[in-house]
Amino acid sequence: RKEVEQDPGPFNVPEGATVAFNCTYSNSASQSFFWYRQDCRKEPKLLMSVYSSGNEDGRFTAQLNRASQYISLLIRDSKLSDSATYLCVVARGAGNMLTFGGGTRLMVKP
């Protein structure tokens, strides 16, 4: 079983739709949680951190459920430019070693 699991998709949605991605992690000692975004043939970039209390950044909302070891990302009013692969990421250890999920591909259509 992978340490961080995601539905690979693709999720094909029309512009303006709301889409949700989920992720589960297996290591209960994980300390920090993130969503990274990766465009085709580009490097991953941090989208947002994920906190137990939930956090919002514009159209993006992330939530963490430590008891269920579950992380989510909600994108509202999706734009064409949101098309990318979204990577669920878990950090462990003092060195902030990152473990990446396999990614969920999102395609927003006009």
Partner 1 sequence: DAGVIQSPRHEVTEMGQEVTLRCKPISGHNSLFWYRQTMMRGLELLIYFNNNVPIDDSGMPEDRFSAKMPNASFSTLKIQPSEPRDSAVYFCASTVAGGHYNEQFFGPGTRLTVL
**Interface contacts to partner 1, rule CB under 8 A:** 31-32, 34, 42-46, 49, 87, 91, 93, 95-103
Strand order across the 60-65 sheet: 4-6, 19-25, 70-75, 60-65, 55-57
**Is the CB of 43 or the CB of 68 nearer to partner 1?**
43
Q: What's the token pair of residue 66? A: 């430590």
Q: Are 73 and 61 in contact (CB under 8 A)?
A: yes
Rounded-to-integer distance, Cα 24 and Cα 5, Å? 5
**Is the CB of 60 or the CB of 100 nearer to partner 1?**
100
Question: Smallest gap, in angstroms, from Cβ of residue 34 to partner 1?
Answer: 8
Question: Smallest gap, in angstroms, from Cβ of residue 67 to partner 1?
Answer: 21
**Is the CB of 3 or the CB of 17 nearer to partner 1?**
3
**CB neighbour burial string for 59-71, b if at least 16 within 10 angstroms, e if fewer:** ebbbbbeeeebeb
**Is the CB of 4 or the CB of 75 nearer to partner 1?**
4
Question: Smallest gap, in angstroms, from Cβ of residue 81 to partner 1?
Answer: 19
Question: Smallest gap, in angstroms, from Cβ of residue 71 to partner 1?
Answer: 15
